[in-house]
């Protein structure tokens, strides 16, 4: 996992809302590199989810933190799909 993605995930897991843009950029870069390596979309999604789980391993979150983590995972997977498929994923991506 790239250091930029690990760092961005750690900041996001700490509920640092300002880290969202950094995380989105890191996810996009990671997805782009995996796609360029020829990985299919389902493998890329699994790799991104795995990166999230590795970055948050060992944490014992409260109920609210688990809910926030689930929302974070949903956002990250959405960004992953949007980056992999570009305009095919529906809608438009925010500018980088």
Residue 12 lies in a domain: yes
Residue 96 lies in a domain: no
**pTM of the shown model:** 0.69
User: Would you state the pLDDT for residue 58?
Assistant: 64
User: Given a cut of 50, is residue 19 above it in pLDDT?
Assistant: yes
Instruction: Spell out the alpha helix ranges (H) of the chain.
Output: 3-13, 20-36, 41-56, 63-85
Residue 94 lies in a domain: no
User: Would you state the pLDDT for residue 57?
Assistant: 67
Domain count within the chain: 1
User: Would you state the pLDDT for residue 92?
Assistant: 47
pLDDT in tens, 30-78: 999 999 999 999 999 999 988 877 776 665 566 556 666 777 888 889 9
CA distances from 28 to 44, 57, 58, 77 (A): 11, 22, 26, 11
In terms of residue numbers, what domain contains 64? 3-89
């Amino acid at each position: 996992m790239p250091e930029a993605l690990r760092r961005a995930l750690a900041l996001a897991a700490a509920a640092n809302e300002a880290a969202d843009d950094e995380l989105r950029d890191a996810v996009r870069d990671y997805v782009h590199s995996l796609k360029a390596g020829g990985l299919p979309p389902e493998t890329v999604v699994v790799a991104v989810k795995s990166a999230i789980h590795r970055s948050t391993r060992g944490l014992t979150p409260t109920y609210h933190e688990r809910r926030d983590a689930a929302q974070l995972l949903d956002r990250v997977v959405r960004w992953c799909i949007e980056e992999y498929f570009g305009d095919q994923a529906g809608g438009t991506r925010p500018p980088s």
